[in-house]
């Protein structure tokens, strides 16, 4: 046994021997005690204890000396969950969770869904118990297996917690179906009988009503009561009096709260008189109608119960969880519980020799449960939502009930594309599903996994690189970043981070397979999952060549297919979150021509943009019907921007808005530059309709932004700046807009010309015949002797200064300081457009920049643009959190934050208090100071 395991087993044995009532103060063993008992040097014991604590296997109790206790044993003894992560306390009393205390005061706290889908029912139940003087009789309605009996027990427990029942109060259960064919015997059982009341009644007998006096009588399947029985029950509810069968007068009294349960419609299964006597009817939803998160919580709870029975953790594969969820039907929780009991029993037998855990995998599932996977797989929305909750096998611990799903950040196994495909193909192949359908399902699953992988790991306060370095080594991240940049330029897409995550983890898995000489699985099922003529496959082949030259190995064809699948999955082709654009003009082809030109210049086929031509002989009503029909076929939930030329076309937006119930805004005097700018705002900034509309109202064309500037010529040729990107279209047009903003604020009117990398120098030579090129900006330095500003320098701030100096020369001193940060302002505004809902980024940008200037002045330092952008975007989001009252909690060690920087942040933040009347919480200051 390893030294660390020897120490852990000693702590665990000691911990399990302790009794709850004896646990007081700081508990456990200290390093010296363990060293003496095991004959190990104290220094080595301390080292192993720190590692065991870091791994979250033992709990630390601070003090002199520090003591350690087994975490799982402590959770089991206290009957509580201590939560994720290394735990340390001063006193064992701190381990009592607020949830446990809440459960004691409110038994409904442990009911899954009590604050979600069952919140209304819980409030009804509480009201029924507390209603003066003795509560309200209640009927619980719901399908078999939804938990009606459990709910009744919780009502009774709540009554005890609220002191409406004594601690000794009885809870008596009776199933009316047991006696439904013998009404006389049923009534006798409920109310009792007198000696001689019927054949066999040889002595007096008290009924359940008397037994339940002072408590609750729960009548399950109450619809089985015959009419005369219902009559006796409602008379008792009215008067509190009853008689035993055979007695002539109702002289007996009892104080009993009646709770009935039925699977039937009360209006048809019970007498109307009886239903009127029950003022409180609680309807419990079937499991199939409850939220996905609640279904998962219920599955975890049921597996936890079995784990506690077998005294081993249970590992459940993702596909098994999916199948269980998909198979939920009329059996509800009861049937689900039975299925899970049988699965765990089989898993226990299969894993009888495995001391670590038992495993439930897809192959073990009954046929009816297996079908649930295909049911769920056909629902893409449910599948995507499920991936948010479960992306890896569940491991349910028997101790303390803690969920132990694999840690997201533990290693490359947290996303293994081979495993995703391998698991999916294996189980679908076993079901006899065709190869073509398998490819479709595999592609869908990979798509969901890749997008959820990025969404789940995205964090405002940690860069992509920092997150990846926790998972894979630095050299692999360096190479992956090069590939991600290559993909972004090659495919002219802005999904760099999403692809970078998936590719880094997949490349790590691929290299491990090569090193271990393992074959790549399921080559035939992957082949053809991505169309052979697609750009994704072409780029994947180029990536394969780069991997080969970098790692000096051969990349097989199937690996190329995997990479192509990643590329396709990383694409964000969902247009539902974008504003739609209609270009409408008079003439037979004017709008169509303008849209065609704009799409070619912008190099985007993804924008929701359509052209509507209105020949002069066509009436406005006809065009209105045409527009309405076209929009009905599109996803326009984010709204529609109409760019029209004049006349009636400018006035039909309100009618469309009324018809389709969507927001519509209209701008007149449409031009190609206006269309380009609208496409840029929609596609790049992700702005909402009103923000786009407001920003375009003041747009006068790309040339007109320089109207106030000075236009110069050199040797009779106008000045120009060239922006260089891969194609000279989409990315170069975006870069062109950024450069134009810098020139506009510098007060200069200079033509900006986008060009591509292909035949770059030849293009520049031709342009030089018409223009005096004073600078080039972009991805590649041209051969021609032209001042060159790399793209990364434009972003980090130094390039903006260089460009300004180039165009202004000796006039640089005339440029106000605040106009030298246009890149920061532009990128911050576009980022905040995505994050902010209530605050207008354009309105708060000036205050954010003043905040930045104040910090730099106080600390006498110059922030790099990437850090400045990160700080200001975080600050803008913090302002929104003040408005929405959702502050962040700083969980790191506050003592490690530089107090000088903290003071500077607090001083600078007064600008928000003065201008916006917004005050940051103390923790927000620590986040910002930590960034600095």
Report whether the peptide linkage leading into residue 260 is cis, meaning its omega lies within 30 degrees of zero: no
What pLDDT sits at residue 458?
45
More confident residue, 120 or 311: 120
Most confident region among 142-151, 565-574, 724-733 by mean pLDDT: 142-151
| 76 to 54, 79, 183, 347, 714: CA distances (angstroms) | 20, 5, 48, 23, 84
The tens digit of pLDDT for each residue in 631-679 reads 876 767 778 999 988 777 887 888 888 888 888 989 888 887 788 878 8
What pLDDT sits at residue 404?
28
Q: pLDDT band for position 8 (50/70/90)?
A: very high
d(CA 846, CA 145): 60
d(CA 448, CA 824): 34
For the chain, the C-alpha Rg in angstroms (whole number) is 36
d(CA 8, CA 6): 6
More confident residue, 552 or 840: 552
Name the phi and psi angles at 145, rounded to 5.
90, 5
Give me 882's structure tokens: 């003040």
The yes-or-no verdict on residue 702 having pLDDT over 70 is no
Residue 188 in contact with residue 202, Cβ under 8 Å?
no
More confident residue, 374 or 812: 374
Please name the residues in contact with 757: beta carbons below 8 A apart, sequence gap of 6 or more.
724, 725, 726, 727, 728, 779, 780
Task: Count CB atoms within 10 A of the CB of residue 704.
Answer: 12
The tens digit of pLDDT for each residue in 32-67 reads 999 999 999 888 898 899 889 888 889 988 877 889
Report whether the peptide linkage leading into residue 65 is cis, meaning its omega lies within 30 degrees of zero: yes
d(CA 526, CA 569): 14
What pLDDT sits at residue 261?
92
CA 101 vs. chain centroid, Å, equals 29
The number of residues in the chain equals 932
Burial of residue 353 (CB within 10 Å: 0-12, 13-18, 19+) is exposed
Strands (E), 417-485: none
The yes-or-no verdict on residue 325 having pLDDT over 60 is yes
Mean pLDDT over the full length of the chain: 77
| 413 to 418, 526, 593, 638, 716: CA distances (angstroms) | 10, 20, 51, 38, 64
Residue 580 in contact with residue 608, Cβ under 8 Å?
yes
Residue 74 in contact with residue 59, Cβ under 8 Å?
yes
Of 264-273, 456-465, 741-750, the poorest mean pLDDT is in 456-465
- Short-list 675, 690, 681, 625, CA closest to 645: 675
Terminal C-alpha separation, the chain: 47
The yes-or-no verdict on residue 216 having pLDDT over 90 is yes
d(CA 109, CA 103): 5
Average pLDDT score over residue span 401-408? 32
Of 146-150, 181-185, 608-612, 647-651, the poorest mean pLDDT is in 181-185
Burial of residue 496 (CB within 10 Å: 0-12, 13-18, 19+) is middle
Residue 630 pairs in a beta bridge with none
What pLDDT sits at residue 140?
93
The yes-or-no verdict on residue 324 having pLDDT over 70 is yes
Question: Could you give the maximum distance between any two Cα atoms of the chain, in Å?
Answer: 127
Report whether the peptide linkage leading into residue 650 is cis, meaning its omega lies within 30 degrees of zero: no
More confident residue, 849 or 29: 29
Average pLDDT score over residue span 841-858? 82
What pLDDT sits at residue 35?
92
The yes-or-no verdict on residue 405 having pLDDT over 60 is no
């Amino acid at each position: 046994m390893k030294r660390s395991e020897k120490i852990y087993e000693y702590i665990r044995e000691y911990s399990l021997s302790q009794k709850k009532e004896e646990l007081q103060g700081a508990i456990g063993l200290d390093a010296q005690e363990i060293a003496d008992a095991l004959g190990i040097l104290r220094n080595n014991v301390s080292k192993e204890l720190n590692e065991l604590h870091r791994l979250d296997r033992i709990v630390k109790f601070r003090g002199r000396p520090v003591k350690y206790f087994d975490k799982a044993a402590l959770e089991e003894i206290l009957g509580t969950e201590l939560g994720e992560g290394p735990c340390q306390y001063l006193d064992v009393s701190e381990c009592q969770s607020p949830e446990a205390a809440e459960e004691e005061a409110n038994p409904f706290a442990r009911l899954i869904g009590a604050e979600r889908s069952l919140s209304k029912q819980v409030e009804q139940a509480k009201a029924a118990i507390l209603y003066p003087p003795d509560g309200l009789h209640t009927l619980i309605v719901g399908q078999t297996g939804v938990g009606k009996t459990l709910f009744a027990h919780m009502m009774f427990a709540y009554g005890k917690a609220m002191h409406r029942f004594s601690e000794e109060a009885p809870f008596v259960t009776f199933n009316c179906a047991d006696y439904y064919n013998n009404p006389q015997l049923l009534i006798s059982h409920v109310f009792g009988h007198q000696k001689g009341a019927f054949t066999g009644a040889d002595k007096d007998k008290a009924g359940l009503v008397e037994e339940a006096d002072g408590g609750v009588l729960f009548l399950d399947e109450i619809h089985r009561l015959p009419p005369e029985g219902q009559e006796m029950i409602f008379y008792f509810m009215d008067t509190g009096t009853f008689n035993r069968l055979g007695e002539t007068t109702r002289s007996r009294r009892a104080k009993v709260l009646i709770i009935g349960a039925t699977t039937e419609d009360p209006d048809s299964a019970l007498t109307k008189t009886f239903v009127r006597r029950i003022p409180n009817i609680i309807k419990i939803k079937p499991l199939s109608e409850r939220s996905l998160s609640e279904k998962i919580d219920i599955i975890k709870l049921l597996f936890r119960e079995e784990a506690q029975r077998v005294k081993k953790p249970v590992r459940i594969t993702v596909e098994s969880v999916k199948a269980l969820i998909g198979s939920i039907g009329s059996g509800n929780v009861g049937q689900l519980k039975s299925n899970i009991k049988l699965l765990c029993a089989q898993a226990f037998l299969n894993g009888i020799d495995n001391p670590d855990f038992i495993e439930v995998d897809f192959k073990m599932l009954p046929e009816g449960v297996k079908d649930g996977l295909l049911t769920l797989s056909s629902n893409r929305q449910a599948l995507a939502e499920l991936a948010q909750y479960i992306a890896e096998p569940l491991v349910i611990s028997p101790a303390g009930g803690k969920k132990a799903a694999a840690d997201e950040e533990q290693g490359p196994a947290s996303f293994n594309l081979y495993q995703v495909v391998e698991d999916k193909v294996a189980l679908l192949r076993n079901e006899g599903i065709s190869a073509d359908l398998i490819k479709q399902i595999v592609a869908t699953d990979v798509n969901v996994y890749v997008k959820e992988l990025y969404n789940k790991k995205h964090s405002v306060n940690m860069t992509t690189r920092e997150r990846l370095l926790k998972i894979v080594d630095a050299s692999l991240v360096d190479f992956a970043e090069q590939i991600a940049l290559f993909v972004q330029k090659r495919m002219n897409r802005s999904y760099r981070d999403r692809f970078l995550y998936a590719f880094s983890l997949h490349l790590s898995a691929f290299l491990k397979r090569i090193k271990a000489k393992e074959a790549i699985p399921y080559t035939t099922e992957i082949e053809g999952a991505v169309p052979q003529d697609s750009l994704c496959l072409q780029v994947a082949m180029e990536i394969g060549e780069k991997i080969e030259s970098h790692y000096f190995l051969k990349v097989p064809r199937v690996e190329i297919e995997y990479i192509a699948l990643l590329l396709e999955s990383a694409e964000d082709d969902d247009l539902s979150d974008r504003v739609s654009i209609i270009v409408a003009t008079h003439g037979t082809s004017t709008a169509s021509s303008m849209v065609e030109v704009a799409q070619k210049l912008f190099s985007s086929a993804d924008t929701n943009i359509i052209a509507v031509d209105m020949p002069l002989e066509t009436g406005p009503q006809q065009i209105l019907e045409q527009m309405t029909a076209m929009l009905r076929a599109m996803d326009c939930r984010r709204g529609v921007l109409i760019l029209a030329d004049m006349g009636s076309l400018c006035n039909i937006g309100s009618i469309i808005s009324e018809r389709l119930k969507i927001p519509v805004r209209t701008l007149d005097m449409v031009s190609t530059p206006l269309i380009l700018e609208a496409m840029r705002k929609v596609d790049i900034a992700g702005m909402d309709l009103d923000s786009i509309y407001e920003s375009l109202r003041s747009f006068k064309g790309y040339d007109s932004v320089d109207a106030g500037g000075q236009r110069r010529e050199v040797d009779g040729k106008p000045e120009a700046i060239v922006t260089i990107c891969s194609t000279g279209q989409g990315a170069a047009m975006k870069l062109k807009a950024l450069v134009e903003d810098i020139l506009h604020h510098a007060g200069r009117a200079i033509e900006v010309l986008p060009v591509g990398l292909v035949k770059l120098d030849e293009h520049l030579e031709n342009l030089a015949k018409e223009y005096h090129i004073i600078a080039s900006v972009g991805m590649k330095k041209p051969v021609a002797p032209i001042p060159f500003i790399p793209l990364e320098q434009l972003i980090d701030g130094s390039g903006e200064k260089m460009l300004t100096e180039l165009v202004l020369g000796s006039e640089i001193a005339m440029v106000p300081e605040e106009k030298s940060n246009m890149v920061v302002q532009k990128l911050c505004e576009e980022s905040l457009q995505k994050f902010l809902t209530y605050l207008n980024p354009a309105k708060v940008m000036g205050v954010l920049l003043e905040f930045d200037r104040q910090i730099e002045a106080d600390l006498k330092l110059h922030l790099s643009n990437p850090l400045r952008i990160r700080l200001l975007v975080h600050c803008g989001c913090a302002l929104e959190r003040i408005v929405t009252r959702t502050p962040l909690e700083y969980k790191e060690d506050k003592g490690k934050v530089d107090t000088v920087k903290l003071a500077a942040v607090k001083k600078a933040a007064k600008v928000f208090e003065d201008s916006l009347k917004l005050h940051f919480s103390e923790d927000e200051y620590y986040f910002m100071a930590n960034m600095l």
